[in-house]
Structure 1
Amino acid sequence: MAEKTIRIGTRDSELALWQAHTVQKKLNDLGYKTEIIAVKSEGDIILDKPLYELGITGIFTKTLDIAMINGQVDIAVHSMKDVPTALPIGIVQSAVLERANTLDILVHKGNLDFLETSGTIATGSLRRQAMWLNKYPNHTVVDLRGNVNTRMQKLKDNDWNGAVFAAAGLERINLKPTDFIDLDWMIPAPAQGAMVVVAMANDSFVLDAVSQLNDVETEVCTHIERQFLKILEGGCTAPIGALATYSEVEDTFTFKGILLSIDGKQKLEIEKTVDVSEWKKLGFNCAKEILDNGGAELMATIKATLKK
């Protein structure tokens, strides 16, 4: 095996480093040499503006993309839900790791009475905000930014009733508290719970190494979800949820997708099950159906609202 050391680029948050170390261990187990290079991203530095106001899709991935294009790192490890559906020219998806928990959870303060009345919930995600307000129209949703640790601390420091997190992130760094409930009614972000490794398209040594980490079932499910996202949003952020699952017994893929207005008052949903041979167009077809049934108008409204 060649002696090249694979340089793994990552954000410097605890969760990002956990993800990078996970990939590092898998590559080391295959006999590759690696080193981890941590880079700060603008998404971590600018904490006072909601992400969608920054006018960038992929703010968390941009810094690492530049480091890779400049030859400072060979691969980057991301939470796949943070990665834009269109990768920069020259960068390719080289592996999707086996998926963890896809659920969103509500971390609360031990008392859930507010669910029956009025309450304040924190989240920086348009999707979580819209889905929460759709179910609990009497509640207030406040913006919550920062990495997982920062957000947990802000929840402690404020008088909010709770905050919504991805279960996978908290589980990975052992931050999942005892006071939480699974939000199994909330359709997750496309590719939630999955980690992706990206590399330069022309680096055959690295692509060959990393491709051995790929989990095919997760790759296909996240492809379906991200295809749905890409067709619906066309490069802008919107409250979109998507989850594809594979049934080994039936040899089918089931897809659930949702598009909501930002205030949660409008909701367009779709659920479809297809034979395994039909997965390639599943996300596309579901997105088209939503667009044809009021989704195109709703997306136009969302884009106009976010521009203000």
Structure 2
Amino acid sequence: MSKIIRIGTRDSELALWQATTVQQKIEDLGFDTTLVPIKSTGDQVLDKPLYELGITGIFTKTLDVALLKGKIDIAVHSMKDVPTQLPKGIVQTAVLERAITSDILVHKGIGFLESERAATIATGSLRRKAQWLHKYPHHKVVDLRGNVNSRLLKLIENDWSGAIFAQAGLERIKLLPKDAVPLDWMTPAPAQGAMLIVALEEDAFSKEVSHKLNHPESEITTTIERAFLRTLEGGCTAPIGALAIIKDQLVHFKGVVFSLDGKQKIEIEKTIPVKSAKGFGQICAQEVLNKGGDKLMESIRNENSALH
């Protein structure tokens, strides 16, 4: 039986770009679709940093509810925004081929990077903040929230030296400045640059159709990174970075956790054959925990609970 697949998405420009991309791919397979834009809590509450809201999956929860209530058939997400534990009844059906994973600096001139003078950088991410302060301890990092367009506008309106973005997001909606600086020293968020499709576990038709868009290599690497995150118990509340890359049938993995102020850093780099990749993310996370990551995560949890 065929039906019109209702594709749920946030209503930001980037989210709509992602959903429209999925829509086109599904329609190219010969199926009918319609887009259902929904405003998320994360888009509505812009006056607090994400970690202060204390909600896991703040950008995905609204779509989860719409899915469980039968208002949409599949939801399209930026995978890095999705909690590592999906709600009961909702399953991952596809990871699309991953885009570039890097973070980039959008700036008003890069002279400040070479000097010892104070500068202000904007980001809403604890991971980016900690890594920036680790490299530039004399800089100040301020909170920056909102969709990509509004964050770029805030950078123009404020006297900040720059702001950090995911390169893939700016490229997708053609807003990447030519002089943006790639931050190749910064470990990205787990699953950064990847798009995820989820559906109801009981909806065999939507699962089968959307799974046709799955990119196996991207699924393997993001699974490893998210398992690393889940084992460290990070979510949005800890500065955790992870990147898995497959090359010549080997998985090259780098994972890192920082203290909130960026002063402490525990990292791991390991390589393993692709055929042995099952459970690799958990193994790497366990090594980080054994190297002092458990105490670091405990102190981060204590700091976060003090903030709430």
Look up the match of 1:259.
Answer: 257
Unaligned runs of 5+ residues in structure 1 are none
Are residues 306 and 94 of structure 1, via their aligned partners in 2, closer, same or farther at CA, if it must alter by over 3 Å?
same
Match of 2:105? 106
The TM-score normalised by the length of structure 1 is 0.97
* One-letter amino acid of the counterpart of residue 146, structure 1: G
Task: Show the counterpart of 1:73.
Answer: 72
Give runs of ≥4 in structure 1 deviating > 6 Å: none
In 1, Cα distance between equivalents of 2:234 and 2:191: 17
Give, in angstroms, the shift of residue 234 of structure 1: 5.7
Q: Tell me, what secondary structure is at the counterpart of 1:60?
A: coil
- Offset from partner CA, 1:101-141 (integer Å, 9 cap, x none): 10000001133334422211000000000000000000000
Partner SS for 2:228: helix
Q: Deviations over 1:244-271 (max 9, x none)?
A: 00013xx110100000000000000100
Name stretches of at least 5 consecutive residues in structure 2 with no aligned partner: none
After superposition, residues 102-181 of structure 1 pair within 5 angstroms as 102-117=101-116, 118-181=118-181
In structure 1, C-alpha distance between the alignment counterparts of 2:159 and 2:224, rounded to whole Å: 39
For residues 136 and 111 of structure 1, the distance between their equivalents in structure 2, rounded to whole angstroms, comes to: 13
Structure 1 counterpart of 2:300: 302
What pairs up with 1:16-95 in 2 under 5 angstroms?
A: 16-95=15-94
Question: What residue in structure 2 maps to residue 270 of structure 1?
Answer: 268
Query: Which one-letter code corresponds to 2:272 in the other structure?
Result: V
> 1:239 matched to which residue of 2?
239
1:5 and 2:19 correspond: no
Once the two structures are superposed, residues 139-187 of structure 1 have per-residue CA deviations (whole angstroms, 9 ceiling, x without a partner) of: 0000000000010000000000000000000000001012311000000
Q: How many residue pairs are counted as aligned between the two chains?
A: 305
Indicate conservation of the 8 Å contact 1:155/1:163, yes or no.
yes
Provide Cα deviations, 1:75-121, integer angstroms capped at 9, x if missing partner.
00000000000000000000000000100000011333344222110
Match of 2:145, SS? coil
AA aligned to 1:27 is: I
Q: 1:235 to 1:143 in 2, by over 3 A?
A: closer
**1:207 maps to what in 2?**
207
Does the CA-based 8 Å contact 2:112-2:119 persist in structure 1?
Answer: no
Shift of 1:235: 5.3
3-state SS of 2:267 partner? strand
Q: Which residue of 1 aligns with 2:290?
A: 292
Q: Percent identity?
A: 62
Distance 1:50 1:231 in 2: 24
Which piece of structure 1 moves more, 106-115 or 205-214? 106-115
